[in-house]
Amino acid sequence: MTTRVAAIDCGTNSIRLLVADLPDPGAGPEAPLRDLSRRMEIVRLGQGVDRTGRLSDEAIERTRVALADYADEIDKLGAERVRMCATSASRDAANAGDFRAMVELTLGVAPEVVTGDEEARLSFTGAVRGLPADAQPPYLVVDIGGGSTEFVVGTREGGVDAAISMDIGCVRMTERHLHGDPPTPDEVAAARADIEVAVDRALAVVPGRTAATLVGLAGSVTTVVAIAQGLTEYDPACIHHARVSRERVAEVTADLLAQTREQRLAIPVMHPGRADVIGAGALVLQVIMERAGMPSVVASEHDILDGIAWSLR
C-alpha cells in the first residue's frame, strides 16, 4: 500500500515542496516515488544572515506567504505525513525562534532545523536512487545551497561513508565577495580563495578525491547544466542525470561571472530569483571539480527534498 507524504525543504535561498506517494515497501529498493506536486519559490530567507546574524522580518514574511500556499496544496492532496526541514539560514540565525513560531502557526507542524550532517545524508539518499548505470560508485554528492554546501561520499548499498557541511553557499559567497555588476576580477579572486580553503577542508574529511562519480544537486548545478546544454527553456527531464565536463563548467562559470545581472536574467533557463547569485554557485561547483579532480559532473533533480520524503516511509 502506498503512503502519501509531503516534504518541505526550506533553505537559504528557496523553499520547495514535494507531495508524493511512497511505493509499497515490498516494491523493491529501486521503486520510485510518484510525484503529485513539486514546487519551488525563491524567498531568500537567509538574506543578510551572514552579516547580521538574524533573519529579517521581510524574509520571514516572504517565507510565510509561500508556506501558506504549500499548506493549502498539502491539504488539497491529502498527505498523511508532513515533514519540513530547515537548513543553513535558520541554523545560523539568532532569532530562529520567530521563524519556528511562524512555521508552526502556518503549517501546523514544527520545522526541524537539521544539522549539516543530517542535511548531507538526506541529500545523498535523494540523489543516488535511480542513478544511471554509467554513474559508478563510490559517489561524491555535493549539494550547493544558498548558505552552505554539503559534501557526502558513499554508495547505494553501503550508504554514507562520510559527510560534512561547509559555509560556502551561493548567497553567502555573493554577499561576502561579489558586489560588482559584474563582479570585479579581485572580487572573483577573493571568492575563489575563500571557496578553495573550504573545499580543501571538506575533502580532508570526506574522501571525495577517491570517488568515481561527482553528483551535483540544487539550483546552481542544474542551472549551470541547463546553460551548458544550450536549453531554450528549463526542462528537468533534459537536466536530470545529464553529464557535463569540467571544461564546459569552467566556460559557463567564466561567462556568468563576466555578465551583468540583466544579461544573466536574459538567459532562457535562468530563474529570476537566481540571477544575482548564480555566478557564485557556479564558481563553487567549478572549484569542487578542480580540487577533487573530477572530469565531469552528473546533475540530479532529485536531492534533499526527495530524501525528506523517503524518510517518512
- How many CB atoms neighbour CB 26 within 10 A? 7
Read off the pTM. 0.84
- Rounded CA-CA distance 281/5 in Å is 30
Q: What does pLDDT average to in each consecutive run of 10 residues of the chain (313 residues)? A: 91 91 74 89 84 89 96 96 83 83 94 82 87 92 91 89 92 95 97 97 95 95 97 94 97 98 97 94 98 97 91 88
- Rounded CA-CA distance 243/282 in Å is 15
Alpha-carbon torsion 210, 157, 80, 118, what sign? negative
- What is the pLDDT, as a whole number, of residue 88? 60
- What is the pLDDT, as a whole number, of residue 115? 80
State the cell numbers at 309. Answer: 520524503
* CA 100 centroid distance within chain: 21
Q: Give the chain's domains with CATH numbers.
A: 3-113 (3.30.420.40), 130-304 (3.30.420.150)
Phi, psi (rounded to 5 degrees) for 140: -100, 110
Q: What is the pLDDT of residues 272-311, one digit of tens each?
A: 989 999 999 999 999 999 999 999 999 999 988 999 999 9
- What is the pLDDT, as a whole number, of residue 158? 80
State the cell numbers at 240. Answer: 536530470
Angle CA 59–63–64, to nearest 5: 115
- Rounded CA-CA distance 292/287 in Å is 8
- Rounded CA-CA distance 267/250 in Å is 17
State the cell numbers at 169. Answer: 553557499
- Rounded CA-CA distance 282/235 in Å is 19
